Amino acid sequence: MDTPTPWPADQVERRTVSTLIPYARNARRHRPSQIKEIAASIKEWGWTVPILIDEQNVIIAGHGRVLAAEQLGIRDVPVVVARGWSDKQKRAYRLADNELTLHAQWDKTLLRVELAELRDQGVDLELMGFAAEDAIVGGPDPLGDVPQALQLAPPREYAVVMCADLAEWERLKIALDLQPVRRGGYRKGSPLDDVGTQRVVKAADLLAMIETESKPSRNARRRAV
């Protein structure tokens, strides 16, 4: 029988916060307001997710929690150690740990129901990272007729158009007939999706537009011949 591969989470240890080393090239930034939110959640629920570190005490995942611990004056925290990981594994996981969670989406209806019930039970929604308005359930949706934005979904081939200034962007919006769309994100403080200008265009739609515009020119050349 094969021996199970050990996982970092198999063994939780305690380490002094001052011995944990932030990764110098950590690409994830934490606003002071977010650190306060993390600190508030730790005060409410305690420490629920250990810090992931390597064998040299360099943080792989959990920079925000460490900053919150420092703010709260917590001396030592739970950690799990990624033993035997290569440098590329550690660097890749730092990004994956943050990015993969962003690929999930809320079921807006169920979310509002949950928030409304928790609010009615006296739970502080801001402690959870939400605003009171997020718990609004029912009522007409003023953005109901606005289509959902087309999302980039790898693996795909892309072409990016870069505008030199705002004036060129306005011209491009007219030329490509870019319409208002629901961006699909969940904006804190609003029960509705944010709305912006369409920024992703299907290649088939763009090609059809180009080909339609070029037909009169081709016909004119044929008549001239």
- Residue range 96-113: mean pLDDT, rounded: 85
Fold classified for 8-103:
3.90.1530
Residue 218 in this model has a pLDDT that exceeds 60: no
Cα(195)–Cα(180) distance, integer angstroms: 7
pLDDT of residue 173: 85
Mean pLDDT over 1-17 rounds to 86
DSSP three-state, residue 97 = helix
Average pLDDT over residues 20-26: 95
Of residues 28, 8, 23, the one with CA closest to residue 57: 23
Among residues 143, 139, 61, 58, the alpha carbon closest in space to that of 100 is found at: 61
- Is the pLDDT at 80 greater than 50, yes or no? yes
| Predicted local distance difference test score (pLDDT) of residue 222 | 55
Q: Where are the beta strands (DSSP E) in the chain?
A: 13-16, 51-53, 59-61, 76-81, 180-182, 195-197
pLDDT at position 186:
45
**Would you call 125 exposed, middle or buried from its count of C-beta atoms within 10 A (0-12, 13-18, 19+)?**
middle
Judged against a pLDDT cut of 80, whether residue 183 lies above it is answered with no
Residue 97 to residue 106: CA distance in whole angstroms: 19
Q: What is the pLDDT of residues 111-130, one digit of tens each?
A: 888 988 998 899 888 888 88
**Does the pLDDT value for residue 66 go beyond 80?**
yes
The yes-or-no verdict on residue 162 having pLDDT over 50 is yes
C-alpha 220 chain-centroid distance:
50
Confidence of residue 188 (pLDDT cuts 50, 70, 90): very low
Q: Could you give the percent of the chain with pLDDT greater than 90?
A: 39
Scanning the structure block, which residue is given the tokens 């718990």?
135
pLDDT in tens, 44-62: 999 999 999 999 999 999 9
pLDDT at 56: 96
Q: Is the peptide bond before 155 cis (omega within 30 degrees of 0)?
A: yes
Domain boundaries, the chain: 8-103, 106-139, 142-224
Q: What is the pLDDT of residue 146?
A: 65
